Amino acid sequence: MSPLLEVSGLTIRFGGLAAISDLSFTAARGEITAVIGPNGAGKTTLFNCITGFYRPHAGRLRLQHPDGSEWALERMRDHVIAARARVGRTFQNIRLFPRMTVIENLIVAQHRDLMRASVFSLAGLLGLGRYRTAEREALELSRFWLDRTGLLGFANSEAGSLPYGHQRRLEIARAMCTRPVVLCLDEPAAGLNPHESADLNLLLRRIRDEEGIGLLLIEHDMSVVMGISDRIVVLDHGILIAEGTPAEIRGNPAVIRAYLGEPESDQPAEEC
């Protein structure tokens, strides 16, 4: 697979604490790359750097689009990363507009395209053709992703009225309406039951295989990580301790130590 995101020497500090230290790895287009590690390992901080919420103190974040254009994410503002570099994201805590309908949540995700087509409301008020075309395309894309996520029958329901698992899928559908080249998913299986997790696995594989984008996944559910990941990056205290396929990571001693801790020594303590 061709390179999509190259992370090189990434470092970010909060006060005197290095949340991420000299991190380097590559994520490929058409693959699911999972980022795992114990609590406090730096996983969400990494996502916040990629999506522009944090500015790293050192290092590079290079995103390459299919057309060959390259985007230096570490130099860009968050709204530009989302709109122009086309980095999509979901969050650990659901961030839908609960009183809007399901389809309205997806149309809102396309507001930049609609605002440009409306010439910042003028064409929309006058009902010009370019805006009607953009509005029709936004509705079509919304319906497409509602169908792909099994939510088309809920299009006119309030988002906040959906079962929890449906809301998780709606967040993914909304992110896909931004037409991302890379999608960052922060614990998408959090709170799901085993059946919902299995459905999520199928959905993410389909997005990978049919859309050809790259997916970055933070997840504590190892059944999800091992079931769908092509590559796994393991962090501990902001440092890369392992990288490889699920089979390579599963039995890695450094990964086991990070999750389970160092075994206690059998040697008796020395007397003072």
Show me where the domains of the chain are located: 1-86+182-261, 96-179
The pLDDT, as a whole number, for residue 225 is 95
Structure tokens at 199: 């459905």
Residue type, 272: C
How many whole angstroms separate alpha carbon 42 and alpha carbon 83? 25
Q: Is 86 exposed, middle or buried (0-12, 13-18, 19+ CB in 10 A)?
A: middle
Contact 231, 245 (CB under 8 A): yes
pLDDT of res. 114: 64
Q: Write down how long the chain is.
A: 272
- For residue 80, the SS3 value is helix
What's the pLDDT score for residue 73? 98
pLDDT tens string for the chain (272 positions)? 678 999 999 999 998 899 999 999 999 999 999 999 999 999 999 999 999 999 999 999 999 999 999 999 999 999 999 999 999 999 989 999 999 999 999 999 997 776 665 544 544 444 556 667 878 899 999 999 999 999 999 999 999 999 999 999 999 999 999 999 999 999 999 999 999 999 999 999 999 999 999 999 999 999 899 999 999 999 999 999 999 999 999 989 999 988 866 554 444 444 43
Contact 214, 28 (CB under 8 A): yes
pLDDT at 16: 84
DSSP conformation letters of 2-17: -EEEEEEEEEEEETTE
Please tell me the predicted confidence (pLDDT) of residue 157.
Answer: 98
Fold of the domain built from segment(s) 1-86+182-261:
Rossmann fold (3.40.50)
What is the rounded distance in angstroms from the CA atom of residue 107 to the CA atom of residue 135?
Answer: 9
- Sequence-ordered list of residues with C-beta below 8 angstroms from that of 50, at least 6 positions apart, any chain: 5, 61, 73, 81, 87, 184, 216
* Separate counts of helices (H) and strands (E) for the chain: 11, 10
**Residue-level pLDDT at 116:** 65
Distance of alpha carbon 242 from alpha carbon 233, whole angstroms: 6
Neighbours of 67 (CB within 10 A): 6
Q: Which two tokens stand for residue 101?
A: 């309908």
H/E segment holding residue 97: none
Q: Which residues pair with 87 in a beta bridge?
A: 182
Q: Which helix (H) or strand (E) holds 64?
A: strand 58-64
* Residue of 190, 166, 179, 161 whose CA lies nearest to 100: 161
d(CA 206, CA 148): 9
**DSSP notation for 166-232:** HHHHHHHHHHHTT--SEEEEESTTTT--HHHHHHHHHHHHHHHHHH--EEEEE-S-HHHHHHH-SEE
